[in-house]
Every structure is written in structure tokens, then in C-alpha cells.
Amino acid sequence: MTGAAPALLDERTAVPYLIGRHVLSGDEPATVSSLGGGVSNVVLAVRTPSIDVVVKQSLPQLRVQEEWLAKRERAITEAAALQVAGELAPGSVPAVLDADPDLFTLTIACAPGSWANWKDLLLAGRADPEIAARLGHLLAVWHTGTSLSPDPRFDDAEAFDQLRVDPYYRTVLARHPEVGDAISACMHNMAMRRRCLVHGDYSPKNVLVGDGQVWVLDFEVAHLGDPAFDIAFLLNHLVLKALHRPANLADYRRCAHAFLDAYSGAVAPTLADPVAYVLSHLGCLLLARVDGKSPAEYLTGPERDVARALALAVLTDPPADLAGLWRRVEAATA
């Protein structure tokens, strides 16, 4: 895109912007607050007596220590992906209220304030296998439903490359040449397997739970790709939590099995992959959360060392099944 970069929204400009986009009427008082936790977007909650919304505007450069650039059009891709996901599984994602391709901005419904972020619950040791199972089933529905008739709106995988492949896979490839063949093989296979709509950030931090519901957020790197990535991404986060809180390892392990069992039971047979292939990606992702551009912020120094050693072992010799992986996790934390 040529010309001056569009201005970033803030607490002062969000309400006039939403009135101009006909999301708000302008007849009611509104409060605006910044929502923390993200590095790739401006995220603002706007609340009025009749409607609460979240405004999300993509940043050209992420707020991390190392340089990390990404195309801003990912906000519009996210809007399309949310609409598809909501059609396939009603009530599983927030409603899309507006998408602005000029300011790279997406406005969605806001979850009730009483809802909790699943990452926060997991880090507090509250690991519910039922939530994990629901996430496995949802992912299978989305993967299966989008594999039947690929949507050309998701052909462009550039944002996924910028926000996942480069900072995760290529970065650790450069920093760990001793497992370079394994990482390169994962990258090659993933690039060749454009089989369904892949979320690309299927993480506990992007899951809200409350009132018996589950919402999945942040489809900004959604693309036609390899379903194994999404599976490995979620499983990897459960492993990271187990390394951080080994006292709750059995709970995280139950969540991992519930997630994978629910996914395997609902996904189309044509999309089913050997678990060893999925776990090879988990090895890359685990290593990336230690030595990539986006390290897991809650891991201590000794925990990072354990995660690194486990990741290298998984890449060198991927376990044949999920039980084998968790035996290694248990041994690593003993």
C-alpha cells in the first residue's frame, strides 16, 4: 500500500471512529480501555449502555525485542475467517461487526466481563479436560468443513509466514543447526500441505470461557495450510504449562489427551495425520518458545533449559504417540 501509513487508533479516537463506521450511534456515553496481552495489534474495549465491542487494529511491527514485521491486511483475513468459523460452529467465535480495509481494523463483539481467559486458568493450575475436548472438536469441525471447498480468501499465507514460520521455524533453524534437517523437513511438509483453513494461533491465550461457552479468538494468521500445525500448537502450550507447573502435570496431560481424542474422533479421515508427524511440529514450536522471537514469558531460566532439551530430543526422535511424549515430559520434570 502506498502513501502515508494510516493512523493508529487510541482511547481518544476510538469512539469517533466507531461512530463514523456506524458501529456506535453516538447517542450514548462510551468508555474506552486498552486490552493488554497482545504484541501484534492495538486492541481497545469500547463499552456503552447498549453494546460492548472490541476494536482490533493490526500493527506493522510487533512489540517485541527483535525486529518483527507483518502485513497489516491480516485484519481483513481475520474478519473473513471469523465469519467462516461462526457459520461452521455457531456461538464459537465473537460476531464480526465491522471490517475496515483502509485502517486495517476489525470490530467484534466483546465477551462478558465475567468470562475468563483459558491461559490464565491453566497457569493457575485449573486445567479442565472438558474445555480441551471442546476445543479439539471445534478444530476438527473447522478443518473438515473448510477442506471440502477451499476458500480463495485464505490463499495468501504471507502473514502466517511472517508471524509463525519466520520467527518460529526459521529462527530456531538458524540457532540450532544440529536439528536443522528435522526443522527443514517440517517447514517443507507444511508448505506443501494446503489442505484446510488453519487458525495458526490455536493457543490458550486465544480462548475465552464462561457461562458454559467457549470462544476462540485471533484468526489473524488464518490460511489454507497444514492442519497438523494447529494441533501441535495447542498441545505445545499444554506441555509448556506442565514444564512450568509440574505439580499439575497430570491435569495438563489429561487436557492434551482429551483435546487430541476429541479432534481425532470428529475430523475427516482424509485429514488425519500420524501423531509422530504432529509431534515433530511440536518439537519445533517448543524450541521456538525458548529460542525463537517470541519466548514464553512465564518460563524461568531453568525451565527454559528443560524445554530446550526436551524439544531437541523430540526433534531428533519424535515419539510415536501422545503417551510417549508425556512420558518424556514427566521424566524431564522429575
What confidence score (pLDDT) does residue 2 get? 39
3-state secondary structure of 258: helix
Percent of the chain with pLDDT over 90: 85
Residue-level pLDDT at 4: 46
- Mean pLDDT in the chain? 93
Residue 6, pLDDT score: 56
Q: For residue 7, what pLDDT is reported?
A: 79
* C-alpha to C-alpha distances, 97 to 90, 137, 207, 269, nearest whole angstrom: 15, 26, 19, 35
Report the half-sphere exposure of 309 (CA within 13 A, side-chain side): 12
Q: Look at residue 12 and tell me whether its pLDDT is greater than 50.
A: yes
Look up the CATH architecture of domain 116-333.
Alpha-Beta Complex (3.90)
Question: What are φ and ψ of residue 126, in 5° steps?
Answer: -100, 85
Cell triple for 299? 518460563
Architecture in CATH for domain 14-109: 2-Layer Sandwich (3.30)
Chain segment 266-310, per-residue pLDDT in tens: 999 999 999 999 999 999 999 999 999 889 999 999 999 999 999
- pLDDT, tens only, 19-37: 999 999 989 999 999 986 5
Under 8 Å between Cβ of 89 and 79: no
Range name among 32-46, 52-66, 186-200 with the lowest pLDDT average: 52-66
The pLDDT tens digits of the residues spanning 185-194 come to 999 999 999 9
Task: Look up residue 54 and give its amino acid.
Answer: V
Segment 44-57 mean pLDDT: 95
Q: Which pLDDT score is estimated for 63? A: 53
How confident is residue 199, by pLDDT bands cut at 50, 70 and 90? very high
The answer, yes or no, to whether residue 153 has pLDDT greater than 60, is yes
Burial (CB count <10 Å: 0-12, 13-18, 19+), residue 87: exposed
Q: What are the extents of the domains in the chain?
A: 14-109, 116-333
Determine the average pLDDT of the residues in 206-219.
Answer: 96
Note the pLDDT of residue 1: 36
Prediction pTM value: 0.93
148-to-72, 134, 200, 321 alpha-carbon distances in Å: 28, 22, 19, 28
Give the percent of the chain with pLDDT over 70.
94
pLDDT of residue 40: 78
Cβ atoms within 10 Å of 68's Cβ, excluding its own = 19
CA–CA–CA angle 190, 196, 198 (5° rounding): 70
pLDDT at 59 over 90: no
User: Predicted confidence band at 76 (pLDDT cuts at 50, 70, 90)?
Assistant: very high
pLDDT, tens digit, 9 for 90 and up, residues 125-141: 999 999 999 999 999 99
Between CA 296 and CA 240 the distance in angstroms is: 8
User: With contact defined as beta carbons under 8 Å apart, do 52 and 46 qualify?
Assistant: yes
Least confident of 33-37, 50-54, 118-122, 162-166: 33-37
Residue 47 pLDDT > 50: yes
Query: What pLDDT, on the 0 to 100 scale, is given for residue 99?
Result: 96
Cβ-Cβ contacts under 8 Å for 271 (sequence gap 6 or more)? 143, 144, 147, 195, 196, 227
Q: Cell numbers at residue 267, please?
A: 475430523
Distance CA(107)–CA(246), nearest Å, equals: 39
